[in-house]
Each structure stands twice: as structure tokens, then as C-alpha cells.
Chain A
Amino acid sequence: MNGAELLVKSLECEKTDVVFGYPGVSICPFFDKLTGSDIYPVLVRHEVNAAHEANGYYRTSGKAGVCISSSGPGATNLITGIATAFADSIPLIVITGQVKSEHIGSDLFQEADIIGACESFVKYSYLVRNAQDIPKTVKEAFHIAMTGRKGPVLIDVPVDVLLEDGYEFNYPETVNLRTYKPTLKGHSVQIKKIINELSKASKPIIMVGGGVKLSGSERDVLEFAKKHNIPFVSTLMGLGIGRDDNPLYIGMVGNNGSKFANKAINDADCLIVAGARVADRAVKQPDLITKDKTLIHIDVDPAEIGKNAGPNIPVVGDLKEVFSELNKFEDKFDFSDWVNRINTYKMTREGLKESTNLYVDPKEFVYSLTKRLKDDYVIVTDVGQNQIYACSNFVSLGAGFVTSGGFGCMGFSLPAAIGCKMGDPDKNILSFNGDGAFQMSMAELSTLKQENLNIKIVIFNNKALGMIKEYQHLKYNNNYTFNELNGFPHFEDIAKAYEIDYKECHSNDEMENCIKWLLKAKKTCILELNVDRDAFTCMNI
């Protein structure tokens, strides 16, 4: 066998069923040996989308997403997607072709030091020197990507290594890395301290972050909250864990979250942060959060604890392990008075609907649409106003919520939606896009057609880069420069070019019918919303 075949066989051993990629001279040996394998390759239209699709694939399948590109520009095009995954701790296996080993460092045609370029946003990287190292490298890469704090792992393979012939395939059964042993089991003394702290607290609250999803500990955390009647809030990355029909779930925190969720955090005397970074967008002044409350921070990554706010009780461990330990304690508390008090903070949406009928109110649209969605739906947002509309008006009743939270990468939604669909074909996938972001990713419509996928695409078209406009309104005295998108292209014609069903929603009056049309569609479709170019998101209820 040659190196390429060893690579294909190794991926098969890791139960990889889909890879997202783009060919090129230095990675061709791999695609050559993919013929005859059960691994299904998806040909993207730009390498960055391969990484976003692998990202989406993980979100619905729970398996590490694999993306592959050639050397040089193919590899560097992946970078934004790798960084996007890294910021949200998404496990990717990124395989890049490289020029011949003997030529590395000589600035050959299509040579790039991709390992050097990606150093600060991969969990680990490998430059494979010999074909016989490929199985061990792949085994380690999947282990590293999927354990501890998850993240992307890069494998750079020179073309001569892929072509090196004459090897038997032996896949290692175990991984032995002396430098990598993530702490999964929480320290029992620290866990006991949490229970002690709860016995003293009168207004505790849990903040669930993306780490809860990543560790698969949703049930354990919800069970813990329910057992003691502890209210909980969510960060952007934790959206979907709490459902709006659960009285313990208060809403999303942060500068785009709800006022009452933020108030609940402020009023609490004990804050349990579970798998969240206490990042700048979730907590305005992280260093002040401990001023009048006890902070308990549980995270699998010790470097995250104390980075932005110094906790009183740090607990390093996998959330699933920690919460199942917590649930074993017989102590039982009841904070229902506090829950009832917070619930009085909540406000209804009555009277919030825009009265104008010239446009579609995007907030009302997200609300009306998402309140119908159960757990057979996944919403994938882009970045910009559509993301803010989506997260702050999302009615959580089981639908999944996928977004680029940490990195805020525009052009994420459409490719990530494709990945979500490939990861779980039974889910209905809704892709929210701004007209700006969609123009960064719309070449992927072609991939979507080629793979014959059914994705419901919504374009919030305000003919401008709305988020920037809003920022210029707030910070630059309404000096609206460099954000007009002149209304082109006509998305109806784009839809026609790709033979995709299309409908425009002109005003609030048509909203109901359009939502019905969108949900009923059996094929990929685009719903374009006519959004006021002066509509702003700044409505925290």
C-alpha cells in the first residue's frame, strides 16, 4: 500500500463516512485511493467552506469533521475555517497536501508553511515525514481532536509521503501520548465544595455554555437544575440546551441576550459557570462578576478557568463527569422562590411587533418561525444582524442552534448548513443569512445542488451591512460609510441560475404564508426577506 491508501484506510478505521474537500496536485494521490472506499467525498467550491462544512457535520453527527485540501493556496484558504472551529472548540481533522519533502522550505510552486500559519488556532499539528507514520498520526489526531477541550488538528502530508509504496496497513489500537492526558474526572473535594456552597446560597444560577453541548452533558446539567430547582441561563453557544417551556430556563445572557437573564445573573449570589469562557460578549465586565457573588467555574480546560474572571471554586473536569458526580449527592435544595422571583422579570412580546407594513420585521419573523420548530430542526445562523435577530428572538422548543460564536465568521451559515445536513440527513436544516454574508458563501449553492440536499435558506436582505451600520450609528455619529450593498444581485435570479425554488416576503402581511411555504418545501428553497435598511437589532427584551 502507498501512503495515500494508508490514509484512506486510517480514516475508515475512525468511521469517517464523509470528507469535505478540494483537489490539487499534491493531494491527488489521496483522492485517487478514495475510489472504492465507502468514504463519501463532497466537492466544495472554495476550501474555506470545506472547513465550515466539516464544522457543521460535527454539530449534528457528533463525529469529528474531516476536510481536505491541496498545498499552498488550497491550504491557506482553509485557515479561516480552521480558526472558526478552534474558537468554538469544534473537532476537525484537517488534511493538507504538501510539496515533496525534499523541497519543503524552497518556496516551491504552491508551497505554504501551513503548520506555521495555523499554529495559534489548531489544537495540534503534524507534518508527516514517513508513510508508515500515517496510521499512528491519524489515530492520535482523532483522539486529540475529540477528547478534553475539543478542537481542530492539522495533518500536513507531503506528496511523496502519500506516494511512498510498499507498506502493510496496521492500525494502532491505543494511543499513548505522554504529554496529553486531559483531566476528565473532577476533583472530589472541589465537587463537594459546590454542594456546600449551594447549601449556603439563596439565589444560585447556572450559566450553560457551548461546553455543555460539546461534552454531551445536557441531560446531566438539566437533571441537576431540576433536582434543586436552580434556574439557568445560556450563552450564545449554549442556545438550544434550555427550552422555553422549562420554567427554570431564563434565557440568553450577554450584550445580545435578554435583559431579564442579565438581571438574574446580577441578582444571583452564586453563579455556576458550566463550559463557558465568561467571554467579553457574554459578561460585560468579567472581572467584576465575582464582586457580590460566589463564582464556581467548571471547565475541562484549566487555562479557561480564571482567564477572564477569578473563580472562588475552580473545578477542572469533563462536565458530564462532574455533573453526574453532583447528581449522586443526596443533599437536596429547593430554590423555587428564587425561580418564581426571576420569572416575574420576564417580559412578554406584546406590543413589540412593528406596525409598519412596508417591510418584514426580522425579529417577529424569527419569533414566528422558531416557535413552530421542534427537535427535528436545526437553525444555522451566519454572522451579523441575522445572528443577533436569531439568537435574541429564538424560541427554544427543541430545535438545534448552530452558529460561529467565538470567531464570528461571515459566510459560515450556508456551508455549515450543508455540513449539518450531511451529518444528520433526517434533520430539517434552516440557514439564516444576511445579504452580505450570503454573497460570501453563495458559490456553495452549487455544492448543495450537486449533493441534492434539501436546505431551507432565509436571506435577511436589507441591502446593507446592517451590523456595521448599527455600529456606525452607535459609535460614529451616523456616519454610514462603506456598508451599502446596492441591492445586487437579484437573489431571485441567483435561485433561478441554480434551479432553486424562490419566494420573496415583502411585508409582515405575507409573513405567515411565507413561513408556511418555507416549512412545507420539499426541496432546497430560498426565502428572501425584505428588511428595512434602517432596521436595528438593539431590542433586548
Chain B
Amino acid sequence: MKRIFSVSVENRFGVLSKVSSLFARRGYNIESLTVGETHDPTISNMTIVSSGSPHDLEQIEKQLNKKLDVIKVRTFKEEESISREVILVKIKYSAANRSEIIEISQITKAEIVDTTDSNMILLLCDTPDRVDKFIDMIRKFSIIELSRTGTLAMKKCK
């Protein structure tokens, strides 16, 4: 079972390590983790995507709440959330496949953000599963470098 934890924490040094070590120590899985400052500079928000049994997920929430640097834990399923990921991928292209790559970019709404005569960088911001699909589509090209942010998520307004 997949679960998203949106965790407000004190914006202090060492807090990221305290939270991530909690996952490591108790054998919980982290699929992705993103951190950034919020509109209040004393608070950071972490979006952690984890998976496990319902018992594990309940324990994760409780253990996160127990951490003294954690202000609030919100937890929700993927379908209850608006979630996005950003991916950057550097591809080596040739005259033969250049138009196909551009076509894929147009279909997936990826942006070509940098080019030279042999390499280009594509950027896509989309839901995690569409980012997965995008990777599948470009896998056949020669990928030099790929980097994705991990999920950023917020519970829907209802």
C-alpha cells in the first residue's frame, strides 16, 4: 500500500536527518522524499512517499508524530492528492531520431530546455505515473543523465 505523508517540521539543521533516520532505523521504506521551506521561514515541509502494510503505515505516522521537530503530519492516499514530480533528462540525439524525440515531447508536454548539436535536456512536470510513462517512452534513446525530484503532494481541496 502506498501512502503520502506531508510533514511540517521545524526549519532547523539536522531535522531532515532525524526524520530520515527514523525510517532507516525501523525498516520503513522511503520511495521519495522532497523538502522545502514553506511561506513561514521557520517551517519546512517534507513530502514523503512510503509503502508498507497498514500496520507499518500507522506506525510511521505515530513515530513521525512522536519526533519533537515534527509540527504536523498529514497523511493521504495518492488519489486523494494533487501530486507532481519534475524530471530532467539529458539525451544524446542524432538527425535520425531528433524528430521522434520532439514528437514525444509534444505528446507528453515535456519541454526542451537546452540543446546542443548532439544533446538536449527535456523537462517534464507531471503526475508520478505519467513521469514513469514518459521514462518508458524515452528509454530507447541514449540517456546520458536522468534526475527526478520525487513527489510533491498536497491533499485535494475536496
- List the interface of chain A (C-beta within 8 A of B): 115-116, 119-120, 123-124, 127, 144, 177-180, 301-303, 306-307, 310
Contacts and interface: CB of A to CB of B under 8 A. Distances in A.
6 contacts: A120-B25, A178-B71, A179-B70, A303-B62, A303-B65, A306-B55
A120 B68 contact: no
B66 A119 contact: no
B59 interface: yes
A423 to B, nearest CB: 27
Most buried by B among A120, A178, A179, A302: A179
Contacts of A178: 71
Interface of B: 10, 14, 17-18, 21-22, 25, 55, 58-59, 62-63, 65-71
Nearest to A304: B62
Contacts of B59: 303, 306-307
B86 to A, nearest CB: 30
B68 A179 contact: yes
Given A119-B21, A179-B70, A307-B59, A302 B14 contact: no
Nearest to A129: B13
A179 B63 CA distance: 13
Contacts, number: 37
Contacts of B67: 179
Given A116-B17, A127-B14, A302 B68 contact: no
Nearest to B24: A120
A306 B25 CA distance: 19
A177 B58 CA distance: 25
Nearest to B13: A127
A179 B10 contact: yes
A124 B21 contact: no
A180 B67 CA distance: 8
A98 to B, nearest CB: 14
Given A115-B14, A119-B17, A120-B21, A303 B63 contact: yes
A269 B44 CA distance: 47
A116 B68 CA distance: 15
Contact of B62 (A120, A124, A302): A302
Contact of A177 (B18, B65, B68): B68
Contacts of A306: 55, 58-59, 62
A302 B68 CA distance: 14
B66 A303 contact: yes
A119 B18 contact: yes
A120 B27 CA distance: 13
A144 B21 CA distance: 21
Contacts of A144: 68
